[in-house]
Amino acid sequence: MVSIEYYIGLSAILFIIGTMGVLTRRNAIIIFMSIELMLNAANLLFVAFARMFEALGGQIFVFFVMTVAAAEVAVGLALIVAVFRTKQTINIDEASTLKG
């Protein structure tokens, strides 16, 4: 039986790695993967807490998150492809036309 603290720790580490990835990398694909990492960090916590409280809600929520993530990937990748078609790059610093 692994105590909950380890899970929280692992989750926090994963989350921070993800966050750093999002904030520092320029390649859109990698940013995406980082976002996935953050989501999965959250998932890990959900499962862990569900186990701890012996409630199914957390487990179910994970399914939702996975579904949303899948949808997000679909939309996100489509956007990336669209951006790549017009800009010939997936460096997101290049996609800054909304600059005020």
Partner 1 sequence: MLLSETTTTGFLELVPWIVFFPVIGLLLNIIFGRRWGELGVAITAVSASALSLVVSVLQFITLQGAHGEAMVYKLAEWLHIGSFSIPWEFRVDTLSVTMMLVVSGVGTLIHLYAVGYMHYDVRYKGDPKSYARFFIYLNLFIAMMMILVSGNSYLMLFVGWEGVGLCSFLLIGFWFTKNPDATEGTQNSYAAKKAFIANRVGDFGFLMAMFLTFWHFGTLSFSELFPEVAHYEGPESLVWWIAGFMLLGVTGKSAQIPLYVWLPDAMAGPTPVSALIHAATMVTAGVYLVARSAPVFSAVEGVHVMVALVGAATALFAATIAVGQYDIKKVLAYSTVSQLGFMVAAVGMGAYVAGMFHLVTHAFFKALLFLGSGSVILAVERGHHPLVETGDADASHGHDDHGHDDHHGEVFDPQDMRNMGGLRKKIPWTFWTYMAGTLALAGIFPFAGFWSKDEILLDASHFEGAMAVYWLLVIAAAFTAFYMGRQVWMVFFGEPRHHAAEEAKESPWTVLLPLVVLAILSTLGGFMNWPFESGLEPHRFGHWLEYTLKVSLGHELHIPEFSFSVAIQSTLIAVAAIFISWLVYGRKPLKSGQTDPLAKALGPIFKGMNAKWWVDELYQAVILTPYEKLAKFLSQTIDWSFWHDWFHEKGIRDNFQRLANFLANPIDMGVIDKISYLLAQGAQGSAGWLSKLQTGFVRNYALAVFTGVVVILGYLVLFR
50 contacts: CB under 8 Å, gap ≥ 6: 56, 57, 58, 59
Closest to partner 1 by CB, 26 vs 67, is 26
How many residues in the chain?
A: 100
Type of residue at 12: A
Give least dist CB 97 to partner 1, A: 7
Query: Quick check: 87 binds partner 1 (CB under 8 A)?
Result: no
Scan residues 31-60 and list those touching partner 1 (CB under 8 A): 31
- Ranges within 4-33 binding partner 1 (CB under 8 A): 19, 22-24, 26, 31
